[in-house]
Amino acid sequence: MALMTYAQAAALALQHEMTADANVIVIGEDVGRGGIFGQYQGLQASFGAERVIDTPISEAAIMGAGVGMALAGLRPVIEMRVVDFALCGMDEIVNQAAKNRFMFGGQGRVPLVVRMPIGIWDASAAQHSQSLESWFAHLPGLVVVCPATPQDNYSLLRAALASGDPVVYMEHKTLWGLSGEVDVSQTATLGHASTLRAGADLTLVSWSKQVQACASASEQLAAEGLEVELIDLRTIWPWDRDTVLNSCARTKNLLVVHEAVQAGGFGAEIAASAAEATGCKIQRLGAPRIPVGYAPVLEAQSRIQAGDVAAAVRLMLKSSR
């Protein structure tokens, strides 16, 4: 076990994968100097500029090159800086990476990982603060991952590189400095959620940075005698239906919390699946359908805080008793 940040854990995962497999490369803007969040720190010095490749500012060109590299047998890690910028490379992701294996009968594989940090980036306004995981979950052919801790950012990044398919890897923009213990021997399986807290009163499902707000809310509620079962989904697609639905069947109550806009968010998929399978009581908690504001008072309107989660749980349990 070692104490490291979310960014350091990702860099260490890449170091291990690049050491083990010469086909693993990195491509993107500023990766040579360590990336804008330090998530590639030291890699170009260790593996050279031919494997940690700095590119011009063109997301479409970066994604197109990455898809071609993957089809040629490499295993590229493609840096998009933030998900908001990745929108300039959507055709290469949606119509090339996601569909190639299906359209050509499995003759080609696209084993790439495209890193698209999500979430509200403090004081960075509407074009740098989006959570778009549901867009990519909607697309057949893509795996979508949202790590919430340094341990998961280490283990899930290694699992993503081993998957053999295109993975949209969505770290949170403000988690890079989060510290935690990392066990390099601990593996992760894509599609498996983590139950962080057991409880009998309500199932609380979240992912990415919102797991922190949910954990804090769970502590508050426990002091009031309300026990929630907290599940970190970790992988948006495939998502762990068994863990979530088994919990919902026991607690009879489900609250899904995400930072993304509530309308059309991935929480709706979880809610509909739980309703169909268990008939439990369901609520969703997400951001209003507004652009994230630059001014702190406006930005706050898009944030889901621990108090909001706790209040939603109390209201649900009060009305069900």
CB-side neighbour CA atoms (13 Å) of 219: 6
> Which is the catalytic residue, given 16, 128, 172, 192?
128
Element (H, E) at 20: helix 6-20
Does residue 128 have an active-site annotation? yes
Q: How far is CA 106 from CA 45, 97, 103, 121, 134, in A?
A: 36, 13, 8, 39, 26
3-state DSSP call for residue 75? strand
Helix, strand, coil percent values for the chain (each to nearest 5): 40, 20, 40
Backbone phi and psi for residue 79, each to the nearest 5 degrees, phi listed first: -95, 120
Backbone phi and psi for residue 57, each to the nearest 5 degrees, phi listed first: -85, 85
Provide the token pair at 235.
């992988």
Q: Give the pairing of strands 179-182 and 167-169.
A: unpaired
Nearest to 39 by CA among 15, 17, 7, 12: 7
Instruction: Please provide the DSSP assignment of 276-296 as one string.
Output: HHH--EEEEEEE-SSPPPSSH
Nearest to 196 by CA among 157, 236, 152, 239: 152
- Which residues are marked as active site? 128
